[in-house]
């Protein structure tokens, strides 16, 4: 039997990149999946692209993860569609590099808002639904190598991803009494549109001279010898959504090809 047969999951930031890959891997293992993203049209296309294979197991929702009302609406839509919520991936994230001394309040608030506050609201509202169902369930947060080291040019991003680690630990402690586990995973350098944008942004602030340079330099220490594809991440995310990880909580799994050894 498929490892996630009938398990109802939500993945945010699922219109592209890592989130889309997480959702599609969950479908492959028999889950029912709500793909959610601030880009409602694009995430609806992702759901549609999967409908021919997975028919009634797919839906989508437009959501801004910083809006508690929109997050509640996304969960209500999922429960209306599939009857319950078993696994919530808080994966939506943003980055906008700035030289450390140039970081502004707007840059900080934007990044901390989506990556930090968005993660906390997502955990709280998912847990509220799981508790109302009688407890149990899994929350999985997307951290980063930037959760383990501070890098120049992306200080608010690093702070926001350290926040994801502490939220994972705090949530695990608080929600254990309801049988809810909270885990996370920390990718290194994954070739997605986020990195294409970061590459351009680093050139714009003078931290790189040519396209691809920042990614090459940043990832030169990867023991596996190459950057990741989203498909390199999904073996672990499916595991974290499955019963195989039931005895894990409060932990972050590094998936960075050996870039950061902690
Ligand atoms: P991406 O930019 O390709 O995708 C992110 C998605 O999040 C987009 O579809 C975007 O529309 C959505 N999003 C942004 N703000 C949102 C909001 N307020 N509400 C809902 N959705 C919103 O990025 P990715 O590379 O797939 O990254 C996914 C996650 O993985 C992020 O949390 C990111 O920080 C993390 N991560 C990425 C890398 C990497 O190298 N790509 C490394 C470590 C961690």
Q: What is the DSSP letter of 243?
A: G
Q: Is 157 marked active-site?
A: yes
**Cβ–Cβ contacts within 10 Å for residue 205, how many?**
12
* DSSP codes joined into one string, 173-207: HHHGGGTEEEEEEEE--B-SHHHHHHHHHHHHTTS
pLDDT of 1 > 80? The answer is no
How far, in Å, CA of 83 to CA of 101, rounded?
49
* CB of 141 closer than 6 angstroms to any ligand 1 atom: no
pLDDT at 163: 98
H/E element holding 40?
A: helix 40-54
Q: What are the tens digits of pLDDT across the range 235-248?
A: 999 999 999 999 99
Residue 137 in tokens: 């369930």
For residue 228, list its beta bridge partners: 190
Mean pLDDT, the chain, rounded, equals 97
Q: What are the tens digits of pLDDT across the range 211-262?
A: 999 889 889 999 999 999 999 999 999 999 999 999 999 999 999 999 999 8
From the CA of 115, give the closest atom in ligand 1.
Answer: 32
Q: Assess contact for 22 and 100: CB atoms under 8 A.
A: no
* Mean pLDDT score, 73-99: 98
Q: Is 239 marked active-site?
A: no
Give the distance from CA 115 to its chain's centroid: 9
pLDDT at 218: 86
H/E element holding 166?
A: helix 155-175
CA 21–ligand 1 middle distance (angstroms): 12
| Domains of the chain, CATH where assigned | 8-189+229-255 (3.40.50.720)
Cβ density class 160-179: b for 16+ within 10 Å, e for less: bbbbbbebbeebbeebeeee
Q: What are the tens digits of pLDDT across the range 141-169?
A: 999 999 999 999 999 999 999 999 999 99
pLDDT at 75: 98
pLDDT at 262: 86
Q: Which residue has the tokens 């590459």?
A: 199
């Amino acid at each position: 039997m498929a490892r996630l047969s009938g398990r109802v999951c939500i993945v945010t930031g699922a219109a592209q990149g890592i989130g889309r890959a997480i959702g599609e891997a969950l479908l492959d293992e028999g889950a029912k999946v709500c793909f959610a993203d601030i880009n409602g049209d694009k995430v609806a296309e992702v759901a549609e692209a999967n409908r021919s294979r997975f028919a009634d197991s797919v839906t989508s929702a437009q959501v801004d993860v910083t809006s508690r009302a929109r997050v509640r609406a996304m969960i209500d839509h999922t429960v209306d569609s599939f009857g319950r919520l078993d696994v919530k991936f808080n994966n939506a994230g943003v980055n906008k590099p700035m030289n450390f001394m140039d970081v502004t309040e707007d840059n900080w608030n934007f990044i901390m808002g989506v990556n930090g506050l968005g993660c906390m609201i997502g955990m709280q509202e998912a847990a509220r639904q799981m508790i109302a169902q009688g407890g149990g369930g899994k929350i999985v947060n997307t951290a980063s190598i930037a959760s383990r080291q501070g890098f120049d040019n992306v200080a608010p991003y690093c702070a926001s991803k350290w926040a994801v680690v502490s939220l994972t630990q705090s949530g695990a402690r608080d929600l254990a009494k309801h049988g809810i586990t909270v885990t996370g995973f920390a990718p290194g350098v994954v070739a997605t549109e986020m990195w294409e944008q970061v590459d351009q942004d680093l050139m714009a602030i003078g931290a790189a001279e040519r396209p691809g340079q920042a990614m090459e330099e940043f990832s030169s220490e990867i023991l596996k010898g190459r950057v990741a594809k989203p498909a390199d991440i999904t073996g672990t995310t499916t595991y974290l959504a499955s019963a195989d990880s039931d005895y894990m909580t409060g932990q972050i799994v590094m998936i960075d090809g050996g870039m950061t050894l902690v």
